[in-house]
Structure 1
């Protein structure tokens, strides 16, 4: 079995979805929420043509809060409507695919993890990707497991033979350590494409064009 493990990102770039080209995608929601990361925000093109941040209206949380524990602030749907105004891809989407995704973006009514995962699956479906999905928070992993030991525990739980990681993981994971546990560690090649948000890309291009770009970047090392 080939698996990938990744934090749930809000409307990530197209290259993120290469991690969905597996048998099982594990949503890595049992780790600390990275406040400067991409779980709760992304950049879209504003009406003036420049990139601006769109940030989810989250309730206040402790500094050490995990991703799975996040909640939306009261009045999140109203706040989202206000924050969406500068972005044509949300206010007046130009393609059928971006319109479907934008409609879901404007309804932050579940928990943030449910909501973000729903957006990821909607976008992935349009790209022809439909892996099985599990959440790491459902596995009951001990807090003593850190870094690659935590990833190896996930691989062992699901009986993974191959673990696929983003290019940035080369500095974090030891190929020999994984091999010793019976898991082949593979890295995606550096992405050779546009790093814009998937919503913006779907608003600018047809899904078939993005599928072609994605296929050209599905190289494992």
Structure 2
């Protein structure tokens, strides 16, 4: 009697706002999920990480490297953000503060430099998705990327209900979230929909400033291992 085919593991979905070169812990979601949803149908937080990343400051410490955006109303959704007039000139001035990156010879340096020199035009989310796909490719992360704005989700749904709708729209059975979201979601609400809710452990790795690592590390093996580690 033939053996039954092996059961497929439940499809794991992760949902996160698209960040600009986020710390390595962000990419653990792409390592663990089959589908990674760019949560772009929600309001942009001006002090968040959607359009900026932390980098070492020339004089020591850390500073924000910020993409130049056009002015937008507070309620503007991430999918509707655009670059500022003269964005390329403004961006070149900001990159000039980090002149040493032009001489970096890391494994990924050329690919990352080419991305940083791309013209800034069109929707911000296009640029963010391209950056996340670049890093995912460099780190051998196979997750499928989907924008939440491409799904037929009821715009009246908020918070947990919207995330539940996204997971179900994609046929997911398991939702994976960063540890900081424990106060936002209730396992019982997911269970009622036949879904499992799981959280990643806290990230304690060394790669909190991703850009310098991508530009300067002779090999990305340590970063790849860090992204896959769940200890």
Instruction: Give the stretch that moved more between structures: 66-75 or 98-107.
Output: 98-107
Q: Does 1:61 align with 2:101?
A: no
CA distance in 2, matches of 1:102, 1:170: 36
Q: Is contact 1:58–1:70 with CA below 8 Å preserved after alignment? A: yes
5+ long unaligned stretches in structure 2: 1-10
User: Which among 143, 168, 174 is matched to residue 155 of structure 2?
Assistant: 143
Contact (CA 8 Å) 2:207, 2:213: kept in 1 or not? no
| Secondary structure, counterpart of 1:53 in structure 2 | strand
Contact 1:29 1:137 in 2 (8 A): yes
For 2:5, the equivalent position in structure 1 comes to none
**Map of 2:6 onto structure 1:** none
Does residue 121 of structure 2 align to residue 100 of structure 1? no
Q: How many Å separate the matches in 1 of 2:193 and 2:57?
A: 48
Residues 1:133 and 2:142 are matched in the alignment? no
Matches within 5 A, 1:1-221: 1-21=11-31, 22-88=33-99, 90-107=101-118, 108-205=120-217, 206-217=219-230
Q: Which segments of structure 1 move beyond 6 Å, counting only runs of 4 or more?
A: none
Deviation at 1:124, TM superposition (A): 1.1
Structure 1 CA distance for aligned equivalents of residues 121 and 22 of structure 2: 20
Q: Counterpart of 1:96 in 2: which secondary structure?
A: coil
Normalising by structure 2, we get a TM-score of: 0.89
